[in-house]
């Protein structure tokens, strides 16, 4: 038992509390839950939120949309592909020919309207399951975390 790997218990318990691991784990199960709930709409939850962000932002550039979503520019490019293929969004050049203007199409608005009540039910189920107070706490701490990390990127990067 002592021949290799001087097993450090405090190290192990510490790592089980890894902020990132626990966030990723929760994101996996919650994403699966929302994806399943949204299934009749044909949208995945990430796609749903992209459409919502577009309805909200109007016709932003890729850069602006990426900043709103706190999503890497190149990730956004890839994430928009399925929506573009399904005709739910359109992408056009702006005055500045470098910029791409992303817009929700009529079909995208229909898809969003169809998906919304499904999303609403999933969201409500999470809020009820956690209890409203704990749910609000979660949202609040997640917001703090994003702020903190963005500050760190600005300073450290």
Q: Which is nearer to DNA, 131 or 139 (CB)?
A: 139
Instruction: Name the nearest CA neighbour of 44 among 91, 79, 77, 73.
Output: 79
Q: Where are the beta strands (DSSP E) in 66-153?
A: 89-93, 100-104
Minimum CB distance to DNA, residue 2 (Å): 28
Among 91, 107, 126, 138, binds DNA (CB under 7 A): 91
Q: Assess 53 for contact with DNA (CB under 7 A).
A: no
- Contacts (Cβ under 8 Å, ≥6 apart) of 151: none
Give the whole-angstrom CA distance, residue 62 versus residue 64. Answer: 6
Q: Assess 73 for contact with DNA (CB under 7 A).
A: yes
Q: Which is nearer to DNA, 1 or 29 (CB)?
A: 29
Distance of CA 46 to CAs 1, 21, 153, Å? Answer: 47, 20, 24
Q: Where are the beta strands (DSSP E) in 10-154?
A: 89-93, 100-104
Q: Which is nearer to DNA, 77 or 134 (CB)?
A: 77
Among 37, 51, 54, 79, binds DNA (CB under 7 A): 79
Q: Assess 17 for contact with a copy of itself (CB under 8 A).
A: yes
Give the whole-angstrom CA distance, residue 50 versus residue 30. Answer: 17
Q: Which is nearer to DNA, 81 or 144 (CB)?
A: 81
Residues near DNA, by CB under 7 A: 24, 28-29, 31-32, 35-36, 44, 46-47, 61-63, 71-75, 77-79, 81-82, 85, 91, 95-100
């Amino acid at each position: 038992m002592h021949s290799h790997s001087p097993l450090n218990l405090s190290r192990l318990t510490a790592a089980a509390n890894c902020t990132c691991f626990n966030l990723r784990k929760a994101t996996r199960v919650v994403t699966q839950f929302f994806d399943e709930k949204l299934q009749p709409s044909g949208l995945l939850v990430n796609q749903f939120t992209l459409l919502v962000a577009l309805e909200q932002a109007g016709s932003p550039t890729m850069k602006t949309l990426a900043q709103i979503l706190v999503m890497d520019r190149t990730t956004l490019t890839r994430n928009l592909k399925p929506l573009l293929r399904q005709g739910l969004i359109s992408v056009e050049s702006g005055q500045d020919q470098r910029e791409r203007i992303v817009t929700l199409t009529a079909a995208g608005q229909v898809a969003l309207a169809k998906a919304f009540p499904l999303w609403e039910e999933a969201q409500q189920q999470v809020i009820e399951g956690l209890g409203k107070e704990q749910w609000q706490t979660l949202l609040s701490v997640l917001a703090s975390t994003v702020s903190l990390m963005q500050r760190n990127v600005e300073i450290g990067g």
